[in-house]
Amino acid sequence: MAYQLTPVPDGLELAVTAGTREDLFRDTVQGTLEAVYGSPLPEGSYGGQVVPVQAAGTDVPAQVAELVSDCLRAVDGASGTLHPPRWMAFDEGRVTAHLPLTSPRADARVVLLRQAVAEATSTPPWAFRLTFAVAPAAP
């Protein structure tokens, strides 16, 4: 696993290190989904549905932050539980991922991206540190 999700005093921190662009985005999405649903990710019945998420930007850090934000929006609006992408596409300045949707909808924490910091981005391997704010559980 090229990412680590750890609790911090005011939320969660996701550290991702990847040698390829695809690994960077796939691991970032998987870590984000674990921040929302917990680990291991909940299993469910897959009926072939996917939810697309995408990001556009002039550089990798902007794309990472936008893809995470779109993933969190997708979790909020999904009728089931989202899982890491089986399929991703890359174009100049754009990344698209299709997240498999399973049922039933799993319990999800309310998670907001607070910050995405690139620690190394000029050439692979890439390293990012993302921090999430986590809303308190409802009583």
**What's the length of the chain?**
139
Q: The domain containing residue 71 runs over which residues?
A: 3-134
pLDDT at 122 over 70: no
Q: How many domains does the chain have?
A: 1
Strands (E), the chain: 3-8, 11-18, 45-56, 81-82, 87-91, 94-103, 111-120, 126-134
Q: Sheet of 111-120: strands edge to edge?
A: 3-8, 11-18, 126-134, 111-120
pLDDT at 100 over 70: yes
**Per-residue model confidence as pLDDT tens digits over 49-77:** 999 999 998 888 899 999 999 999 999 99
Q: Is 66 within a domain?
A: yes
Closest CA to 41 of 10, 8, 83, 9: 83
State what percent of residues in the chain have pLDDT above 90.
74
pLDDT at 138 over 60: no
State what percent of residues in the chain have pLDDT above 70.
94
pLDDT at 137 over 90: no
State the CATH number of the domain containing residue 32: 3.55.10.10
Q: Is 139 within a domain?
A: no
The answer to whether 65 touches 113, Cβ cutoff 8 Å, is yes
What average pLDDT does range 31-41 have in this prediction? 95
Confidence (pLDDT) at 123 = 67
Q: Is 17 within a domain?
A: yes
Confidence (pLDDT) at 6 = 96
The answer to whether 84 touches 40, Cβ cutoff 8 Å, is no
Match 């921040």 to its residue by tokens: 35
Confidence (pLDDT) at 120 = 66
